[in-house]
Structure 1
Amino acid sequence: MANHDEIDDDSPYRVHSRREIIALLTSMMEKNQLLSLLIKGGSESVITSILEVDEDDDSLIIDAAPSATLNESIVSSKRIGFEALYNSIRITFNVDGARQVEYQSRPALKVDIPESLVRLQRREYFRIPTPIAKPLRCTFRITQADGSFVTVVTLLNNISAGGVGITDEKKLLPTTPGAVYEDCQLELGDNTLVSVKLQVRDCKEFKMTNGKVVNRFGCQFIDIPRTVLAAIQRFITKLEREQNAKASGMM
């Protein structure tokens, strides 16, 4: 799951026009478009939206995170990423830092209008966070050298049609980049379970709020069957609808 905001400056997917950037962000604001705010290299994310585009101040006002701890983490981050799926186009951009402000008598965050952003009409790279209240799991069945099997259960952080982000709280899963796991079971909610082949793309240590250090992985689907991909896309659509409903006060 590559970070496509790192696309070269001369790429046709990267937009540098300030007028286009402001027009796009304003349109997203007017339609209450949800964005994923990513910190710590994408290992932690929250859902937010744009509250105001201030061209004169060269800034965006966005919804604050739901907890003070998360807001502190965001404000202390030097690099903040944003992702959104807008009109079937994936939008990504980065900003350098955020400040806590108050907007219409509620907590908010202020960031600079990005100097550039990336537009990719490729849905498979859009990552969406999974519900925190109802954690889902990704289970690895690993073959040992002696032919025996060991099972490692991880938590599913986010999902796209290209791969998943997972947390290994017990640090049992080998962290070798490029390692391929043939037999993985992925929970998609509503008692739906699919089998996938995963390749480890990256791994980072992450310190949780309780002080515990865990491993967070970015994994890519390998040779995924069409039926499984269709089930994952339906699940992503369901999550998007639920998050949009919550944002509009319908849930």
Structure 2
Amino acid sequence: MQLHPFPEPDTPELEPYTLYGRPEIVSLLRRITGDRTLVTVYPGRAGDFSVSMILETDPDRGRLVLDMPAGNEARQRVLQARELVFVAFFENIKVQFTAAGARERPFDGKPAFEVDLPEQMLRLQRREFFRVRTPKLAPASCLIPQADGASRYESVRVVNLSVGGLAVLVHPHLFDLPPGEVVRNCFLDLPSVGPINVAFRVVNVYDIGGGAGEWGRRCGCQFLDLDPQARMMLQRYVNRVEGEQRKVAVEAKRE
């Protein structure tokens, strides 16, 4: 079973990973809300998707309020869909739930929509797909070929990484990665591990700005056709970074 950003099919094998208890579902949704985790919204089970965020979990009214996707076309897809599928990755867990339909509802003066609180929720976890934030002092980077046909590459910073995919930070006025684009012959440079040739599909994109002096466009990507050697090197890097981060956290608690 692989974890990817697309909706999981409704199959009996996923039943053991399904939550039905309302307190457990509400607790998980509140944590996702508080963490401001991005949520991918699929209008039905078609290939179209938008990126949103849960703004409020309200069990008393039995509803979730989410940020309205940008663009009129995306907004209409969400509001007109008979069924919406929501997928999020939170603390290395894939969370998925559905809603019968969306209702437009402003929240704090901003465009938003609400759906009924889900009665069940899929919760998948797989150790090898743990995603780690790359260190800022010695970050991983990725050389991505430019689309003009010349032998030129754009170097972008890797924000986080797992064996399943990565997120990179780009500056759209210099270089852009639109959703759905497949990019091959990229060189992922992992400090203390080495370079890896990878291909990936851009899954979701959103703009960031201001926080910690960072600004640009964050592009979440899924690896394609990863060979065993590359997978082993990625896992080695993830394990090393995770171990270093755990060590720092333990030392911080002692101080």
- Name the TM-score class by shorter chain: 0.5 to 0.7
- What is the distance in 1 between the residues matched to 2:36 and 2:174? 25
What's the CA shift for 1:168? 0.6
**TM-score normalized with structure 1 length:** 0.56
Do the aligned partners of residues 116 and 156 (structure 1) sit closer, same or farther apart at CA in structure 2, a change above 3 Å counting? farther
Provide the secondary structure at the position in 2 that maps to 1:120: strand
Question: Shift in Å at residue 126 of structure 1?
Answer: 2.8
**TM-score normalised by L of structure 2:** 0.55
Whether the 8 Å contact between 1:171 and 1:214 is mirrored in structure 2 is: no
The residue number in structure 1 matching 2:151 is 149
C-alpha contact 2:189 2:196 (8 A) present in aligned 1: yes
Task: State the 1:9 CA deviation.
Answer: 9.8
Distance 1:93 1:243 in 2: 28
1:1-43 deviation digits (Å, cap 9, x = unpaired): 7457x76999622313267x49x99xxxxxxxxxxx4545599
The residue aligned with 2:140 is 136
Aligned residue number for residue 124 of structure 2: 120
Secondary structure of 2:179's aligned partner:
coil
Partner of 1:238: 240
- For this pair of structures, how many residues does the alignment match? 180
2:141 & 2:189 partners in 1: Cα distance? 6
Q: What CA RMSD, in Å, does the superposition of the two structures yield over aligned residues?
A: 4.0
Q: Which blocks of at least 5 consecutive residues in structure 2 are unaligned?
A: 29-34, 41-50, 52-58, 60-65, 68-87, 98-117
- Structure 2 contact 198–223 (Cα < 8 Å) conserved: yes
Report the 3-state secondary structure (helix = DSSP H, G, I; strand = E; otherwise coil) of the residue aligned with 2:211: coil
Asked if residue 172 in structure 1 is aligned to residue 174 in structure 2, the reply is yes
Give the conservation status (yes or no) of the 8 Å contact 2:139–2:158: yes
- The equivalent position to 2:198 in structure 1, one of 190, 196, 208, is 196
User: Alpha-carbon deviations, 1:31-90, whole Å to 9, x = none?
Assistant: xxxxxx4545599xxxxxxxxxxxxxx9xxxxxxxxxxxxxxxxxx97xx77335xxxx4
- SS for the counterpart of 2:226 is coil
Tell me what 1:83 maps to: 90
Structure 1 Cα separation of the partners of residues 204 and 134 of structure 2: 19
- Describe the shift of the 1:125–1:212 C-alpha distance in structure 2 as closer, same or farther (beyond 3 A): closer
Unaligned 5+ residue runs, structure 1?
26-36, 44-57, 59-76, 95-113
The alignment partner of 1:224 has SS state of: coil
Distance 1:38 1:155, change over 3 A: farther
Aligned counterparts of 2:207 and 2:123: Cα–Cα separation in 1: 30
In 2: Cα distance, 1:179 partner to 1:93 partner: 24
Q: Among all aligned residue pairs of Structure 1 and Structure 2, give the percentage whose two residues are the same amino acid.
A: 26
Superposed displacement of residue 134, structure 1? 2.3
Q: Which of residues 154, 160, 163 is equivalent to 1:161? A: 163
Give the Å deviation of 1:172: 3.0
